[in-house]
Structure 1
Amino acid sequence: MGYIEELREIIGNRPLILVGSVVAVMDGEGKILLQKRPEGIWGLPGGLMELAESAEDAARREVFEETGIEIGQLQLVDVFSGKQYFRKLANGDEFYPVTIAYTSKDIKNNIIKIDGKESIDAGFFDRRELPEHTSPLVRTLIQQYSHFFK
């Protein structure tokens, strides 16, 4: 059982502030790695930090767990937080995420292996031809931070 699950056992569904990382992984052709989550939304691989884990380590771990891709160097893009990102999950859990967004072109392997749980599909996409149902965060990152994606 992870840190967040342990917290939930203590406090139930009450709102939390949770810190996580996402990574815009770019291949040599400038395509961006996206994962399709079970609810059908395409987004950046990422997830929440565990105790004693750095944001960078969480980012690398989540990319590997969700896509099978190993990455190295990360470049900070921005931090996203605030009430507009509030989430209420189907199970009733509520949280305000603090999302640290990175980009990485340092791909150690490019063999995609989805886990079938958090990811039901993954692939590299041209940033001008994103799949239908791509997360608004991805579109915002690409528009507002285009200099990172060249």
Structure 2
Amino acid sequence: MAVAAPVGGARAHEDGAVRATVAPAGAAAGATVEVSVSGCEGTTGSAGAGAFEGDAQLTARDGGKDSLHGKAKIRGGVSGSYDVTVICDGHPHQRAGTVRVVQRNPEPVSPVRAGGGGTAQFTSVASAGADEAGPGTRHAVTGLVLAGVAAVAVAVRSVRRRRSE
């Protein structure tokens, strides 16, 4: 009877030693994400998910073996969570991480009703019972009195200035 012992690469796969993280944690369709993978012994690999347009090609930064990095673009029309499969050291590592695709807030396609135009509907309801004839006699008299006071003040100041010279 023969017993097969797992070799180092298979053991890493079974133990879940290969981990993938995707940044940002929640990305919208069309966004580019950074994929970082730890636990691979080589300096290259790839990472794929159902949400990616294509596999992210992973390489080690500065020639180190600590982690692999790559970029991937999120496909349009997808949402939800997707498992990330990493291929490194000649083996696939399924469910090494997840990527979460979120819905992007809709962008306006026409001018936004803001400022006075957006509040006009509220003022029309509030002033439906108000008299819309414009300023009345009381306002006209008040304006004339204030204009007269201003004219007298200017005249008095002009007279004082001439006397002091």
Which structure: larger Rg? Answer: 2
